[in-house]
Amino acid sequence: MAEGKKPVLAQVSDFELKLLKVFRSVAACGGFSAAEVSLGISRAAISMQMADLENRLGLKLCRRGRAGFALTDEGRQVLEASDRLVGAIENFRSEINGLHKHLRGELAIGITDNLVSHPGMKITHGLAELKARGPDVRLNVHMQPSDDIEIGVLDGRLNIGVVPRIRELPGLEYLPLYEEASSLYCATHHPLAAWPSREIDEQVLARFELVIPSFAQPAEAQGLYRSHPQGARANDREGIMFLLLTGCYLGYLPNHYARPWVEQGRLKAICPDSQGFTTSFCAITARSRRPNLVLDTFLDTLRRHQTRPTLVVIR
């Protein structure tokens, strides 16, 4: 080809592949007439499509006449090239189908603190199923505040997050997971722990300082916090627990998280029938995310493990 001359075949589209299929059948059958049955079209249609292919390639592919059908030298080379092309397409198809059987890649998941003890939390089950389906998948878990998780999912550093559903951002999609019940607690050596429950009312509770979380809370909880004197602040649940165990404060904690300390006789729930709230948790993903087979598979496991909301109540 002369320098600067454009190639005859600028691209290989579905139509060219269709014409190559006709050519391959003609070559395999040894002629147009014999290829009629194989292709299910008439000799006239085969002839037209062969002529179209030759025009597109700028090559004479075969000869027909009294001596019979025969490929030209160029035709044989095109046939060999088409064999390699079909093989490459088949290899591509096999590899893509194999990805569905053998998951590979990384899943970066952000989770807010102290959720693992919740009986309705299916993240562990979902991760186990994902790992079983894709042993080569790498799991990367980030324990972060919910605000940081939302930002991480939006900017692509995290594939998915598990956060309380306090607000909804337009760039995120939400998959409900479960609900978490929280109650009011104090240490067993706190002055209020010795009070009979029947004598504890709003006025009594208002005498004691409360640990206020610096992370977002549902509207139901915000009303409860306003009814107590603010004695201390904590930026996570473990911080609230540390302060409660001093015996100086009241504080709201998830029941599943407080249960071990209650069973050890170190914490006591105060008026659990009236002093408590629930928080909905969900999985978040970016609306603008690119197709990701690992993430989509994990989301499928979460949907299958969805159950009715599980609440843990400690009295």
Same domain, 111 and 132: yes
Decide if 4 is inside a domain: no
pLDDT of residue 168: 86
Q: What's the number of CA atoms in the CB half-sphere (13 Å) around residue 9?
A: 16
pLDDT of residue 8: 64
Q: Which of 84, 101, 118 is the last residue of a domain?
A: 101
For 118, the token pair is 């919740």
pLDDT of residue 97: 67
pLDDT of residue 221: 83
Decide if 314 is inside a domain: no
Task: Give the separation between CA 121 and CA 69, rounded to whole angstroms.
Answer: 71
> What CATH number does the domain containing 116 carry?
3.40.190.10
Q: What is the pLDDT along the chain (315 residues), one digit of tens a residue?
A: 445 555 566 677 888 888 888 898 888 888 888 888 878 888 899 889 999 988 988 889 998 877 788 899 998 999 899 888 888 887 787 677 666 667 788 999 999 877 777 776 678 888 989 998 888 899 999 998 888 999 999 988 999 999 998 888 899 999 998 888 999 999 999 999 998 888 888 888 888 999 999 888 888 888 788 877 778 999 888 999 999 999 999 999 999 999 999 999 999 999 888 888 998 899 999 998 888 889 999 999 888 876 544 433 443
Same domain, 197 and 59: no
Same domain, 199 and 271: yes
pLDDT of residue 242: 95
Task: Give the separation between CA 90 and CA 81, rounded to whole angstroms.
Answer: 14
Same domain, 76 and 87: yes
> What CATH number does the domain containing 238 carry?
3.40.190.290
For 147, the token pair is 């605000």
Same domain, 223 and 239: yes
> What CATH number does the domain containing 74 carry?
1.10.10.10
Same domain, 171 and 206: no
Task: Give the separation between CA 163 and CA 147, rounded to whole angstroms.
Answer: 9
pLDDT of residue 311: 39
CA neighbor of 186 nearest in space, from 236, 239, 247: 247
pLDDT of residue 313: 40
Which residue range(s) make up the domain with 150? 104-178+280-304
pLDDT of residue 134: 86
Same domain, 163 and 294: yes
CA neighbor of 186 nearest in space, from 148, 214, 228: 228
pLDDT of residue 246: 95
Counted domains in the chain: 3
Other residues' Cβ atoms within 10 Å of the Cβ of residue 39: 17
